[in-house]
Amino acid sequence: MTALTPIDAQSLARKLRSRELTLIDIREPDEFAREHIDGAVSLPLSRLEAGHVALRGTTPVAFTCRTGMRTNSNCDRLAAHVGEPAFVLDGGLDSWKKAGLATKADRKAPLEIMRQVQITAGSIVVAGAVLAATVSPAFIWLSAFIGAGLVFAGSTGWCGMAKLLAVMPWNRKAA
């Protein structure tokens, strides 16, 4: 099986400039749209496996995500789709930016859905706690409901709040 070799941001930048490899960003499309390394190809991990994509026979490949955690925890799954040599950006997009390298960012793109879920859920939990302390103890059930929803989402992989936020007007693409 192919092993993914860690590569630092500066070395990856040199290989990208000389077109020695293809950089694949495995984050979801909403994350990629917000900010990515120029020249990276968006191929979310979920689509890579669902489509049974094999990247063997092409130029060498490097994978990235935001912090490197997603790529590192999925190295075996990613390696199954590529030939050698294959790389993983050590520290992901965050390390790329720390190295002073430019990214392609669209600040008008909505925040990533999971960040929207975190902001919304956190706000509702705080509001429920404040209302329970100041208005009626029954408002604690609002916080409990959101907490239960987060536990359900974490254990099943299905998040109703994310589904709801995804169809909000600010998350729809312009026609």
Tens-binned pLDDT, residue by residue, of the chain (175 aa): 568 899 999 999 999 999 999 999 999 888 999 999 999 999 998 787 666 566 666 688 999 999 999 999 888 888 888 877 889 999 999 999 999 999 999 888 888 888 999 999 999 999 999 999 999 999 999 999 999 999 999 999 899 999 999 899 988 764 3
**Domain limit, last residue, from 105, 133, 157:** 105
CA dist 62 and 131 (Å) reads 49
Considering 12, 13, 23, 65, which one is annotated as catalytic?
A: 65
Q: Is 65 a catalytic residue?
A: yes
pLDDT for residue 10: 97
Instruction: Provide the domain limits for residue 88.
Output: 4-105
Count of beta carbons in the 10 Å neighbourhood of residue 22: 19
CA distances from 159 to 116, 155, 168 (A): 12, 10, 15
Same domain, 128 and 49: no
pLDDT for residue 174: 47
DSSP-assigned states of every residue in 101-137: ---EE-TTSPPPHHHHHHHHHHHHHHHHHHHHHHT-G
Q: Exposed (0-12), middle (13-18) or buried (19+): which is 37, by Cβ within 10 Å?
A: buried
Identify which of 148, 119, 144, 115 has the alpha carbon closest to the alpha carbon of residue 131: 144
The enclosing domain of 9 has a CATH number of 3.40.250.10
pLDDT for residue 1: 53
Same domain, 56 and 118: no
Taking the model in full, what pTM does it have? 0.75
CA dist 67 and 122 (Å) reads 22
pLDDT for residue 175: 36
Structural domains in the chain (count): 2
Q: For 138, how many CA atoms within 13 A lie in the half-sphere containing its CB?
A: 1
DSSP annotation of 68 = S
